[in-house]
Chains A and B, each alone.
Chain A
Amino acid sequence: MDAATAIDPNITMRELLVQFPGAQRALFRKYHIGGCSSCGFSPEETLTGVCARNENLNVDEVTEHIVTSREADRAMQIEPRELADRIASGEPVYLLDVRTREEFEAVKLPGSHLFTQELMQEILSDGSKTNLFVVYDHTGARSLDAAAYFQGHAFENVKSLRGGIDAWSAEVDSNLPRYHVEQHE
């Protein structure tokens, strides 16, 4: 595949993630690489090296998967309006908030659950693998990684809220205030 050959097999993982921000999600979804520190990689490793120590994966196949993964990222997102409609229709939906507790306490989607380690154990053991399961954060970037993590654990219908709670405020519920975060060390 032409696009796949555009990735140099000796590219470092750091460079790969710059060129293809969704590569880590793609690697975990299909090959269970990069999900946690046990199956992680170092930024200095090459793609070829990572493939070699993961049961000698075929580098061409892996690069093609990374290139085509943008579509998978898109498929994993749900539009705020669609989510609102599906909640309104009575469909069972689990909402997981992966922001900080401070953000959660300030502004949240009704019925959502704040992510904690304990909650993760509960979700992985007892959560429905088939119902709609939506992960959200402030603007929809980190939640995509979080959703991919659950997808790699066989949650078939996990989605990331496109644009996060900020897009929800802008497009669905203007009563939910928009905000920004100031961080202090």
Chain B
Amino acid sequence: MPGARKWTRIFRGITLNNMNDDLQTRIGEAVKNPRNLGEMIDADAVGTVGSADCGDMLRMWVKFKEEGGRKVIDRATFQTFGCQTAIAVASVATEMLAGKTVAEAQAMSGEELAAPLGALPPVKIHCAQLVEGALRSALSGDHEKKPENLSSAPTLLGQLNAGQSSERKVKIVIDKDGVN
């Protein structure tokens, strides 16, 4: 991951206040219609960055395939919480990753991953770093590892998502007399 100095150099002169309208429009469009959003059940690799503060977390799933004798990224998906720019960067970055080898993907900087959006202001650099970090985490070490369950205890997010589980078939029975 580039040092802070490099990031400052890349994004020098751009502040949140003068974040141009084009950039805001592109971020807005990516957030409204994010590509590759969501957990990939059959992923070959998963990477997570972020602190225990969930608002800062970004997780990326990667699936590989063989193409012309080379192992390339078939597709990548992501999940993140809270930050519009991280969603936008992850959305455009996962689009670009398809077809790249691990080495090619690892060589991509946060700036390159965010390039379709344009230069980001310093206050948003962290968002591109999150995406770069999650990608590197997914591509490093054992590519065959599966998403691991970090905790077996129920979580609030798990409770929030419980209604979306498709494992059970649910039948709704209307009570005739209004009494359960």
State the A residues within 8 Å of B (CB): 13-14, 24-25, 28, 32-43, 54, 97-103, 106-107, 115-118, 120-122, 124-126, 137, 142, 145-146, 148-149, 152-153, 166, 169-170, 174, 177-185
Contact = CB atoms under 8 A, between A and B. Distances in A.
B180 interface: yes
Contacts of A121: 31, 34, 37, 80-81, 87
Interface stretch (B15-23, B109-117, B136-144, B150-158): B150-158
B172 interface: yes
A42 B155 CA distance: 10
A43 B156 contact: no
Contacts of A118: 34, 37
Nearest to A105: B172
Interface of A (DSSP majority class): mixed
Contact of B170 (A34, A100, A116): A100
Q: Sorted from nearest, which 10 A-B pairs have the closest CB atoms?
A: A40-B151, A145-B159, A36-B157, A149-B156, A106-B172, A37-B150, A184-B169, A146-B160, A39-B52, A182-B171
Contacts of A153: 54-55, 81-82
A34 B153 contact: yes
Contact of B150 (A40, A107, A169): A40
Contacts of A39: 52-54
A109 to B, nearest CB: 15
Contacts of A28: 156
A42 B180 CA distance: 35
